[in-house]
Amino acid sequence: MSIRKLALSAAAALALGTGPALSAGGVGEITDFHFSFEGPFGSYDRAQLQRGLQVYTEVCAACHGLQYVPFRTLTQDSGPALSPEAMRAFAAQFEIFDREIDDWRPAEGPDHFPPSQMETAPDLSLMAKARIGFEGPYGLGINQFFRGLGGAEYIASFLLGYDGREEMQAGAMFYYNKAYDGWVSMAPVLWEDGVEYADGTPATMEQQAKDVAAFLMWAAEPGLAERKRSGLVGVIFLTLLASLLYLTNKRLWAPVKNAAKGKTKDA
């Protein structure tokens, strides 16, 4: 991580820790970004998750943690799918406190990402999941099932939601965010070409926001694709079972219905 990016992230965290938002806020302008994992058949885009991991590492990790995410999960085929060697090299960039040796050491695969470096910087492990539901752009219902849960959309919209307004209150600077629909103490953290993607993807602010939002969605729901497959199998099984029950019911009751029809004709 460059000194410039580390300083920018630290400044954002400092602003975040100076006090609560000036207004309660809630949900404002949420953009309906398209993500590959939306819908009943969607799945994570491996390249996007790798880019999102890079954005998290270079922009967010200085302040925010992922304490519920083990490094070894970065090798999952349904996730970033890093090679074991790349995963271990990535984990070694972080230091964790090992109680057994009573000292700090480089992180390893079984270890978890470090927690947030500041008490006022929320952990991002479950952030996307926390914003699922009413916070989504479609609310609850069939539209949300087919078109997205809303967590990733909210995160991306929040990161892009700063409109340039600033206000000093009680010695701290606050920034208006259209997605939050209120004043927040975290300064903008994304800039055009703020990171240099290894795969050559142009690092626009929107691209960075979508990539890190997708990565945080995976961090909160690493088994999303597997659950969708299980759900699809369950739906197919229930459909077949319902069809068999219907046909069986017709076969069992057919003699009774035919006898009733015969009696009616005789009468």
Judged against a pLDDT cut of 50, whether residue 18 lies above it is answered with: no
pLDDT in tens, 79-124: 999 999 999 999 999 999 999 999 999 999 999 999 998 888 999 9
Total H helices, total E strands in the chain = 8, 5
Percent of the chain with pLDDT over 70: 81
pLDDT tens profile 157-173: 999 999 999 999 888 99
Per-position DSSP letters for 165-215, written without gaps between them: EEEEETTEEEEEETTTTEEESSPP---TT-S--TT-----HHHHHHHHHHH
Across 165-191, average pLDDT: 93
Q: Residue 143 has what pLDDT?
A: 53
Single-letter amino acid code for the residue at 247: L
pLDDT for position 2? 44
SS3 (DSSP) at 97: strand
Distance, in Å, from the CA atom of 82 to the CA atom of 126, rounded to the nearest integer, reads: 21
Which single residue is written with the structure tokens 């009573």?
102
The strand pairing partners of 176, in sequence order, are: 183
Q: What is the mean pLDDT of the chain?
A: 83
C-beta separation of 66 from 219 below 8 A: yes
User: Do 212 and 64 form a contact (C-beta atoms < 8 A)?
Assistant: no
Report helix angle 205-220 to 46-55, nearest 10. 100
Q: H/E element holding 106?
A: strand 103-106
> Residues 183-198: what's their mean pLDDT?
95
Q: Which residue has the higher pLDDT, 72 or 169?
A: 72
3-69+113-222, what's its fold?
Answer: Cytochrome Bc1 Complex; Chain D, domain 2 (1.10.760)
pLDDT tens digits for range 135-165: 444 444 555 555 555 789 999 999 999 999 9
Q: What is the pLDDT of residues 28-68, one digit of tens each?
A: 888 989 999 988 888 999 999 999 999 999 999 999 999 99
